[in-house]
Amino acid sequence: MASAAKAAVEAVQDGVKKLAVKEGSTNVLERRLFFIPSFKIYGSVAGFYDFGPPGCAIKQNVTQLWRQHFILEESMLEVECPAVTPEAVLKASGHVDRFTDFMVTDAKTGDCHRADHLLKAALEALLEDPKAGLMPEKKSEAEDVLARIDELDGPGLGAALTKYGVKAPETKNDISAPFPFNLMFKTSIGPKGDTVGYLRPETAQGIFVNFKDLLYYNGGKLPFAAAQIGQSYRNEISPRAGLLRVREFTQAEIEHFVNPDDKDHPKFASVQDVTPLLFSCALQTNEAKRPEAMSLGDAVAQKIIANQTLAYFIGRTYLFLVGIGIASERLRFRQHLPNEMAHYAEDCWDAEVECSYGWVECVGLADRSAYDLRAHSAASKTPLEAYEKFAEPRYEQVLVAKPNKAAIGKQFKKEGKPLQESLDALTQEDAACIKKSFDEGKPATVSAGGRDFEVTPALLDIKQEEQKLSGRKFTPSVIEPSFGIGRIIYCMFEHAYYARESNEDKSVFRFKAAVAPLKAAVFPLVQQPELNATARSISAALTRAGLANTVDTTGTTIGKRYARTDELGVPYDITVDRTTIDGDGSVTLRERDTTAQVRVHQDAVAELVQQLVTGAVTWQMVLDTHPAQQPAAEDNT
């Protein structure tokens, strides 16, 4: 087969497989209440999901693992701030003015649509339509617009929508020109109704506004990191794609504050050999457009990643994601292209995970420089700075300006007061400017109190002096890893899902034990009081060991009960039978993915499961040291 044809067939096979995973996993995920549309009995509202019992347990496990991996391991300062946020905070951060998507409305129905989504769908349809018969140059023009959609502003989107004659979906009515729609949920704080508040669109701002206190708490020392896990809110125009685009979601964000002159990380050596797929700007813009595996040590040495701290967090993120069950070959770190990045950002990388929806941004890692602290400092008029003591004192030439108070008073009387204040607060730049005029023998013009003053050396003495500096104040840079917990969990679901080879109707989630919603299920083989009692006492022992578990005393066949727990991704099933009561006291312990079974004494099984869950022993070690149990026929049907 020609390689192009082979690639095409493989792509189709791959597509079919992904669709099967999506359909199979979605079926199980909804039926077993991993997550479900919220407020279902009231017809639901787009963009809101509930986590049901297994989903909620998994989310708890993932956030606790995150806390252990990042906060505990790095001694980060965790904070918890309200979601309701007064306008001043989000005005300063830029969200009130700029946290918008462009919207168009249906001219007849008034229905709202995202402008970029409509344009994208229209261009994709045009390019795929064999009847469109596009000329090569028109085709390449359309492809170019499609590639640059994210860069278009309102007028740009409007022009493109007009050019390609885009109509409202379904109704095919005309659409309005695009206009910005702020994505924040607005509310009012207090009874008077005059204090505007918003639901925070990200958790990060709560950390920035506390920077001063947190620095003090840390003994005034940099670097340090603060973290927050909590709900964020975005009033999406038309949410879709399940858990991937929702209106309320859990974020876990870290703000690592660092001296802008020293972004090395003391623990970088621990991740320098981690080798994720990196999709740098260069690789995105070359011919092949493929990410490449590269060690983080090399990526920093070759200046592909801007600094050690950013690379350190890329490494820790990789280890976290793979640790909770994201397939490493379906995880890549994509660098932002220069036109994607905010002007103040130094370098940004997204952890993207492949699932049936394509490559999904799950974590953003950005070196945001001093932007956020400067913005809040200016708006709140509160210095948000750190102090660096120099190892050796430094000597610097500074201009010292001394206004002659008496002369100013004499010359300008009362009106001299604003001038006096202005001269007292001269910056080095202003002083240099005035000194230049004086050196040229000219007076300088100084604006103060709404008028101009002519200032001569008689009114202001300016001298250059050497000053000893033992340290300096500066605004720290911040490196921000920001995790979307729901997206990560959804991708993990897809990566963990498979159908048994022996029976494609049997769905399994191969969750890591630490992530699994229940660590074990206990079954009496048949419904007998003695077996039930033993099952309950094993369950109690598991609970004492801190292992979430369930007892299934329905009389259903053991095969069906195994299938039920496989669907929940329960790693270990324990079956109590007559041998447990009348024989050697052993129970059956079955592992989910191999479906292999061994006999273990009932008094030892809870501790053994605990060791398996913590990784102290492996399933192979258990197989090697315990007698095997032949599975009953029904387990394989």
Q: Taking a C-beta distance cutoff of 8 angstroms, is the pair 66, 229 a contact?
A: yes
CA dihedral 388, 393, 396, 402 (to 10 degrees): 80
Q: How far is the CB of 80 from a second copy (least distance, A)?
A: 4
Should residue 107 be labelled a site residue for a second copy when binding is judged by CB under 8 A?
A: no
d(CA 273, CA 294): 9
Which of residues 21, 25, 59, 297 is near a second copy by CB under 8 A?
59
Q: How far is the CB of 89 from a second copy (least distance, A)?
A: 6
Q: How far is the CB of 503 from a second copy (least distance, A)?
A: 23
Q: How far is the CB of 248 from a second copy (least distance, A)?
A: 4
Q: How far is the CB of 77 from a second copy (least distance, A)?
A: 4
DSSP at 475? P
CA dihedral 227, 228, 229, 230 (to 10 degrees): -170
Which residues neighbour 262 within 8 Å (Cβ) at sequence distance 6 or greater? none
Q: How far is the CB of 213 from a second copy (least distance, A)?
A: 6
Q: How far is the CB of 470 from a second copy (least distance, A)?
A: 18
Should residue 212 be labelled a site residue for a second copy when binding is judged by CB under 8 A?
A: yes
Q: Taking a C-beta distance cutoff of 8 angstroms, is the pair 525, 574 a contact?
A: no
Helix residue ranges per DSSP H, 339-426: 371-380, 405-412, 416-424
Nearer to a second copy, 207 or 496 (CB): 207
Q: Is 592 left (phi over 0), alpha (psi -120 to 50) or beta?
A: alpha
Nearer to a second copy, 138 or 186 (CB): 186
Q: Which of 84, 83, 91, 97 has the alpha carbon at shortest distance from 378?
A: 91
DSSP at 220? T
Q: Which of 201, 243, 228 has the alpha carbon at shortest distance from 489?
A: 243
Q: Taking a C-beta distance cutoff of 8 angstroms, is the pair 354, 521 a contact?
A: no
Which of residues 112, 146, 327, 623 is near a second copy by CB under 8 A?
112
Nearer to a second copy, 175 or 226 (CB): 226
Q: 127 phi and psi, to 5 degrees?
A: -70, -25
d(CA 349, CA 489): 20
Tokens of 482: 């920001």
Nearer to a second copy, 380 or 437 (CB): 380
In one-letter notation, the amino acid at residue 272 is Q
- Map the footprint of a second copy across residues 220-259, applying CB under 8 A: 226, 231, 233, 235, 237-238, 247-248
Should residue 67 be labelled a site residue for a second copy when binding is judged by CB under 8 A?
A: yes
Q: Which stretch binds a second copy (CB under 8 A): 68-76, 333-341, 415-423, 573-581?
A: 68-76
Q: 334 phi and psi, to 5 degrees?
A: -105, 125
Q: Which stretch binds a second copy (CB under 8 A): 214-222, 362-370, 406-414, 492-500?
A: 214-222
Q: How far is the CB of 46 from a second copy (least distance, A)?
A: 7
- Map the footprint of a second copy across residues 441-470, applying CB under 8 A: none
Give me the 361-390 binding string for a second copy, x by CB under 8 A, dash otherwise: ---------------x--xx-x-x------
Beta-ladder partners of 181: 101
Q: How far is the CB of 548 from a second copy (least distance, A)?
A: 6
Nearer to a second copy, 470 or 543 (CB): 543
Nearer to a second copy, 2 or 41 (CB): 41
- Map the footprint of a second copy across residues 292-321, applying CB under 8 A: none
Should residue 38 be labelled a site residue for a second copy when binding is judged by CB under 8 A?
A: yes
Which residues neighbour 375 within 8 Å (Cβ) at sequence distance 6 or greater? 92, 93, 94
Q: Is 585 left (phi over 0), alpha (psi -120 to 50) or beta?
A: left
Nearer to a second copy, 196 or 433 (CB): 196
Tokens of 154: 């309102």
d(CA 511, CA 556): 25
Measured CA angle at 101 (ends 97, 103), to 5 deg: 120
Which of residues 153, 213, 264, 593 is near a second copy by CB under 8 A?
213
Q: Which of 345, 374, 299, 375 has the alpha carbon at shortest distance from 90?
A: 375
Which of residues 7, 16, 45, 628 is near a second copy by CB under 8 A?
45
Which of residues 427, 543, 618, 637 is near a second copy by CB under 8 A?
543
d(CA 49, CA 245): 10
Which of residues 1, 4, 5, 41 is near a second copy by CB under 8 A?
41
DSSP secondary structure letters along 292-351? EE--HHHHHHTTSSS-HHHHHHHHHHHHHHHHTT--GGGEEEEEPPGGGS-TT-SEEEEE
Give me the 497-536 binding string for a second copy, x by CB under 8 A, dash otherwise: ----------------------------------------
Give me the 124-163 binding string for a second copy, x by CB under 8 A, dash otherwise: ----------------------------------------
Q: How far is the CB of 433 from a second copy (least distance, A)?
A: 32
Which of residues 13, 470, 554, 625 is near a second copy by CB under 8 A?
554
Q: How far is the CB of 271 from a second copy (least distance, A)?
A: 16
- Map the footprint of a second copy across residues 76-105, applying CB under 8 A: 77-86, 88-89, 103
Give the binding-site size for a second copy (rule: CB under 8 A): 83
Give me the 170-199 binding string for a second copy, x by CB under 8 A, dash otherwise: -----------x---xxxxxxxx--x-x-x
* Cis, peptide link before residue 223, omega less than 30° from 0: yes
Q: What is the largest distance, in Å, between two alpha-carbon atoms of the chain?
A: 112
Q: 464 phi and psi, to 5 degrees?
A: -90, 130
Q: How far is the CB of 632 from a second copy (least distance, A)?
A: 22
Q: How far is the CB of 216 from a second copy (least distance, A)?
A: 8
Nearer to a second copy, 48 or 164 (CB): 48
In one-letter notation, the amino acid at residue 472 is R
Q: Which of 186, 185, 235, 227 has the alpha carbon at shortest distance from 206?
A: 227
Q: How far is the CB of 117 from a second copy (least distance, A)?
A: 13
Q: How far is the CB of 544 from a second copy (least distance, A)?
A: 9
